[in-house]
Amino acid sequence: MAHTTFPSDLPIPQDDGACSHLSNSKVPSLALPSTSGNTIDLSSLPGLTILFCYPRTGAPNENIPDSWNAIPGARGCTPQACAFRDETERLRKLGVSHLYGLSTQDTGYQLEAKGRLHLLYDILSDERLEFVNALRLPTFEWQNRQLVKRLAIAIDSGTIVKVWYPVFPPDKNAEDVVKWLENERQGL
């Protein structure tokens, strides 16, 4: 099965409360490597930033094992990333100053995915889990690797103002962010 699709019988992630502490939290000051070649400190960015976190994108020709599909919320990183790509211009028109994806994969891996998927935004690497641990973001283990669970956060000048967790289906996350911007953030 291609990385851009997913089975209709995927297990749906449940809200386990793992992100309930994030609202109104300050984002930690950390320099995260970016596919732009620069480091990004999300705490210092002015305006509205949308950050979506995902476990991992698959490599070209990688076979996706059933064990991955069995983890609630694991499958769908590529569809989520592509949905944000497709909504980038709309997000900007709705006041998003910065848009990033974040995974625990290294920047070289992310650069390949950014090019292959024609992403219009940069991806941040939290390979050492510094950002994930500082914010106590939910994680899971797969093949002896700690991966961040899928979520998205809106950050307004360093403060988290909205959290989407759990995210399902992953390809609708960008649309959910757009709806929030249209309904909740009008006039701000």
Residue 186 has pLDDT above 80, yes or no: no
Record the pTM: 0.94
Element (H, E) at 89: helix 77-93
Residue 62 has pLDDT above 90, yes or no: no
Residue 4 has pLDDT above 70, yes or no: no
**Does 26 fall in a domain?**
no
Number of domains in the chain: 1
**Does 153 fall in a domain?**
yes
Cα 98 to Cα 46, 61, 104, 120, 153: the distances in Å are: 9, 31, 20, 11, 12
E strands along the chain, which residues? 32-33, 39-40, 48-53, 96-103, 122-125, 139-142, 145-148, 151-156, 159-164
Pick the residue with more confidence: 2 or 137?
137
Summarised one tens digit per residue, pLDDT across range 63-116 is 888 889 899 999 999 999 999 999 999 999 999 999 999 999 999 999 999 999
Helix/strand/coil for 178: helix
Q: What is the span of the domain harbouring residue 73? A: 32-183
pLDDT computed for residue 1 by the predictor: 45
Contact 152, 166 (CB under 8 A): no
Closest CA to 123 of 52, 44, 29: 52
**Does 81 fall in a domain?**
yes
**Does 3 fall in a domain?**
no
- Angle at which helices 77-93 and 173-183 pack, to 10 degrees? 20
**Does 168 fall in a domain?**
yes
**Does 16 fall in a domain?**
no
Q: Residue 156: what residue type?
A: D
Task: Using pLDDT thresholds of 50, 70 and 90, give the confidence band for residue 26.
Answer: very high
**CATH classification of the domain holding 38:** 3.40.30.10
**Does 115 fall in a domain?**
yes
**Does 68 fall in a domain?**
yes
Q: Is 3 left (phi over 0), alpha (psi -120 to 50) or beta?
A: alpha
